[in-house]
Chains A and B, each alone.
Chain A
Amino acid sequence: MWARAVHLGLRAAARGRRGFTSKADPQGSGRVTGELIQHLERLSLVDFGSQEAVARLEKAIAFADRLRAVNTDGVEPMESVLEDRCLYLRSDNVVEGSCAEELLQNSHRVVEEYFVAPPGNISWSKLDEKQPFSHR
Chain B
Amino acid sequence: MAAPMLRWCCPGRRFAFARVGCGSCHRRGPPTGSTSNGKRGQSSVAQQPHITAQKPRKGEPEWAAVVGLEIHAQIASNSKLFSGSQVCFAAPPNSLVSFFDASLPGTLPVLNRRCVEAAVMTGLALDCHINRKSLFDRKHYFYADLPAGYQITQQRLPIAVNGSLAYSVYVGRKPSQMVTRTVRVKQIQLEQDSGKSLHDDLRSQTLIDLNRAGIGLLELVLEPDMSCGEEAATAVRELQLILQALGTSQANMAEGQLRVDANISVHRPGEPLGIRTEVKNLNSARFLAKAIDYEIQRQINELENGGEILNETRSFDFKLGCTVPMRDKEGKQDYRFMPEPNLPPLLLYDSGSLPSSADPQQVINIDQLRERLPELPRVTRQRLVQQYGMLPEHSCVLLNEVGLLEFFQNVIKETRAEPKKVTSWVLNTFLGFLKQQNLAVSESPVTPSALAELLDLLDRKAISAPAAKQVFEELWRNEGKTPAQIVAEKKLELLQDPEALEQLCRSTLEAHPDVVMDLKRGNPRAINKLIGLVRKATLGRADPTAIKEVLERQLSS
Instruction: Determine which of B111, B334, B364 lies in contact with A21 in the assembled complex, contact meaning CB atoms within 8 Å.
Output: B334
Instruction: Determine which of A39, A45, A83, A123 lies in contact with B344 in the assembled complex, contact meaning CB atoms within 8 Å.
Output: A83
Task: Answer yes or no: A75 CB below 8 A from chain B CBs.
Answer: no
A25-33, A48-56, A61-69, A113-121: which lies at the interface: A113-121
Task: Answer yes or no: A128 CB below 8 A from chain B CBs.
Answer: yes
Task: Answer yes or no: A8 CB below 8 A from chain B CBs.
Answer: yes
Q: With the chains together, A52 CA to B156 CA distance in Å?
A: 35
> How many cross-chain pairs have Cβ atoms below 8 Å apart between A and B?
204
Closest to B91 in A: A97
Q: Give the contacts of B403-417 with A (CB-CB under 8 A).
A: none
Task: Answer yes or no: A136 CB below 8 A from chain B CBs.
Answer: yes
Q: Give the contacts of B72-87 with A (CB-CB under 8 A).
A: 77-79, 83-86
B345 near A127 (CB under 8 angstroms)?
no
A103 near B102 (CB under 8 angstroms)?
yes
Q: With the chains together, A135 CA to B92 CA distance in Å?
A: 21
Closest to A92 in B: B114
A50 to chain B, nearest CB (A): 23
A100 near B93 (CB under 8 angstroms)?
yes
Are A87 and B83 CB-contacts (below 8 A) given A114-B198, A123-B324, A134-B196?
A: no
B79 near A95 (CB under 8 angstroms)?
yes
A94 near B97 (CB under 8 angstroms)?
no
B219 to chain A, nearest CB (A): 12
A33 to chain B, nearest CB (A): 16
Q: With the chains together, A133 CA to B319 CA distance in Å?
A: 14
Task: Answer yes or no: B402 CB below 8 A from chain A CBs.
Answer: no
Instruction: Determine which of A111, A118, A122, A134 lies in contact with B145 in the assembled complex, contact meaning CB atoms within 8 Å.
Output: A134
Q: With the chains together, A68 CA to B246 CA distance in Å?
A: 49
Task: Answer yes or no: B328 CB below 8 A from chain A CBs.
Answer: yes
Give the chain B neighbours of A42 by CB distance below 8 A. 330
A89 to chain B, nearest CB (A): 4
B94 near A100 (CB under 8 angstroms)?
yes
Give the chain A neighbours of B265 by CB distance below 8 A. none
B344 near A85 (CB under 8 angstroms)?
yes
Task: Answer yes or no: B338 CB below 8 A from chain A CBs.
Answer: yes
Instruction: Determine which of A80, A93, A127 lies in contact with B339 in the assembled complex, contact meaning CB atoms within 8 Å.
Output: A80
Task: Answer yes or no: A70 CB below 8 A from chain B CBs.
Answer: no
Are A93 and B338 CB-contacts (below 8 A) given A87-B344, A103-B102, A116-B208?
A: no
Instruction: Determine which of A85, A87, A93, A109 lies in contact with B78 in the assembled complex, contact meaning CB atoms within 8 Å.
Output: A93
Instruction: Determine which of B84, B93, B112 lies in contact with A112 in the assembled complex, contact meaning CB atoms within 8 Å.
Output: B93
Give the chain B neighbours of A74 by CB distance below 8 A. none
Give the chain B neighbours of A71 by CB distance below 8 A. none
Give the chain A neighbours of B488 by CB distance below 8 A. none
A19 near B337 (CB under 8 angstroms)?
yes
Task: Answer yes or no: B557 CB below 8 A from chain A CBs.
Answer: no
Closest to B114 in A: A92
B135-143, B495-503, B532-540: which lies at the interface: B135-143
Instruction: Determine which of B79, B325, B344 lies in contact with A92 in the assembled complex, contact meaning CB atoms within 8 Å.
Output: B79
Instruction: Determine which of B78, B92, B330 lies in contact with A94 in the assembled complex, contact meaning CB atoms within 8 Å.
Output: B78
Give the chain B neighbours of A117 by CB distance below 8 A. 144, 197, 205-208
A80 near B143 (CB under 8 angstroms)?
no
Are A120 and B207 CB-contacts (below 8 A) given A19-B337, A79-B135?
A: no
Task: Answer yes or no: B110 CB below 8 A from chain A CBs.
Answer: yes
- Interfacial residues, chain B to chain A (CB-CB below 8 A): 77-79, 83-86, 92-99, 102, 104, 110-116, 135, 137, 140, 142-145, 155-156, 194, 196-199, 201-202, 204-210, 280-281, 315, 317, 319-320, 324-328, 330, 334-347, 361-362, 364
- Interfacial residues, chain A to chain B (CB-CB below 8 A): 5, 8-9, 19-23, 39, 42-45, 79-80, 82-100, 103-104, 106, 109, 111-129, 132-136
